[in-house]
């Protein structure tokens, strides 16, 4: 990409898209195109075609998606597969039809088998049964990857796919019913401290292990891949380290200054036992994560306090 390339970031208000916009702007890219979902519903083909037909887009970061935590995925599978398929189909196909030079599609590590060997290598893709609680979302992402690969083979496009691990950072979703585990825990523990509660309920056993990558690291990796990577193979993006949900809760409590107890509700699903990605392919290309979990959590809590206007001065940041 040149600094004046016409770059469309789909989903620029979300956790991932907003981080990509920040990364691009920090690196000097100044011809960015964004639209809110109210301005452009990516599920509506005719509106998306009109957009691509008039904007002269050269590069696309496809970060727009319907996302949610384990309960939302379990309870609304039709919404997740329908909306994501519609978004992907429109943006990928119309990127081809209107001459986009390169597209980066963001998938998810949920595309890997539930019981995949750890850490998960890219070649484990499509080798086993998916985790049932987010199967609909995973199948949509698998379709997006396959669509990019198929267009590359048939039409000679340059569409690449990256698989980020669990993400967190500014502009995350803190709704306790639809959020992912890290923002949900952060909000729960913060509110417990504020309200003087001595116990915090955590869904599941606390034993599953997860890898967490700050959104700013992901964004930096995405810009790197757009500029440096060509190929049909998917590329994992992660930090190469994981922690248990129990350890994550303890780390968040330490940053917030909460001294109460955790109660584990084992009637709630644990999900996949472990999800650690092998990042050797990305490392060999020349990129590594730089934000530690401790530092990233402190930054995220500071942003949470600012965005929720709870304190004038962050606690434990």
Residues marked as catalytic: 137
Query: Is 274 labeled as ligand-binding?
Result: no
Query: Is 180 labeled as ligand-binding?
Result: yes
Query: Is 179 labeled as ligand-binding?
Result: no
Query: Is 108 labeled as ligand-binding?
Result: yes
Query: Is 257 labeled as ligand-binding?
Result: no
Task: Name the one residue in this structure whose structure tokens are 């379709």.
Answer: 143
Query: Is 13 labeled as ligand-binding?
Result: yes
Query: Is 287 labeled as ligand-binding?
Result: no
Residue 46: CB atoms within 10 Å: 8
Query: Is 141 labeled as ligand-binding?
Result: yes
Q: How far is CA 202 from the centre of its chain?
A: 22
Query: Is 17 labeled as ligand-binding?
Result: yes
Query: Is 68 labeled as ligand-binding?
Result: no
Burial class for 11, CB neighbours closer than 10 Å (0-12, 13-18, 19+): buried
Query: Is 127 labeled as ligand-binding?
Result: no
Query: Is 248 labeled as ligand-binding?
Result: no
Query: Is 275 labeled as ligand-binding?
Result: no
CA distances from 139 to 78, 107, 196, 247 (A): 11, 10, 42, 30
Query: Is 66 labeled as ligand-binding?
Result: no
- Which residues carry a binding-site annotation for NADP(+)? 11-17, 106-109, 141, 164-167, 180
Task: Tell me the binding residues for substrate.
Answer: 188, 203, 210, 270
In the annotated binding site, the residues are 11-17, 106-109, 141, 164-167, 180, 188, 203, 210, 270
């Amino acid at each position: 990409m040149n600094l004046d390339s016409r770059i469309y970031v789909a989903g620029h208000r979300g956790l991932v898209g907003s981080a990509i916009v920040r990364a691009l702007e920090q690196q000097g890219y100044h011809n960015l195109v964004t639209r809110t979902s109210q301005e452009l519903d990516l599920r509506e083909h005719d509106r998306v075609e009109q957009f691509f037909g008039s904007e002269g887009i050269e590069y696309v970061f496809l970060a727009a998606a319907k996302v949610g935590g384990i309960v939302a995925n379990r309870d609304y599978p039709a919404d997740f597969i329908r909306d994501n398929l519609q978004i992907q189909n429109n943006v990928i196909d119309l990127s081809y039809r209107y001459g986009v030079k390169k597209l980066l599609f963001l998938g998810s590590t949920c595309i890997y088998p539930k019981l995949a060997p750890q850490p998960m290598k890219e070649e484990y893709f499509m080798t086993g049964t998916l985790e049932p609680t987010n199967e609909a979302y995973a199948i949509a992402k698998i379709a997006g990857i396959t669509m990019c690969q198929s267009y590359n083979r048939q039409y000679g496009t340059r569409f690449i796919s990256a698989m980020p691990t669990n993400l967190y950072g500014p502009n995350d979703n803190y709704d306790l019913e639809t959020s992912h585990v890290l923002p949900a825990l952060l909000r729960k523990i913060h509110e417990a401290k504020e309200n003087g509660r001595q116990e915090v309920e955590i869904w599941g056993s606390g034993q599953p292990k997860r890898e967490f990558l700050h959104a700013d690291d992901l964004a930096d990796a995405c810009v790197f891949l757009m500029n440096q990577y060509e190929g049909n193979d998917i590329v994992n993006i992660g930090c190469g380290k994981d922690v248990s949900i129990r350890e994550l809760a303890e780390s968040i409590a330490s940053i917030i200054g909460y001294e109460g107890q955790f109660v584990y509700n084992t009637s709630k699903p644990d999900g996949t036992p472990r999800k650690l990605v092998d990042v050797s392919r990305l490392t060999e290309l020349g990129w590594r994560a730089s934000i530690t979990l401790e530092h990233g959590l402190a930054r995220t809590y500071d942003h949470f306090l600012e965005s929720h206007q709870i304190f004038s001065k962050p606690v434990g940041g």
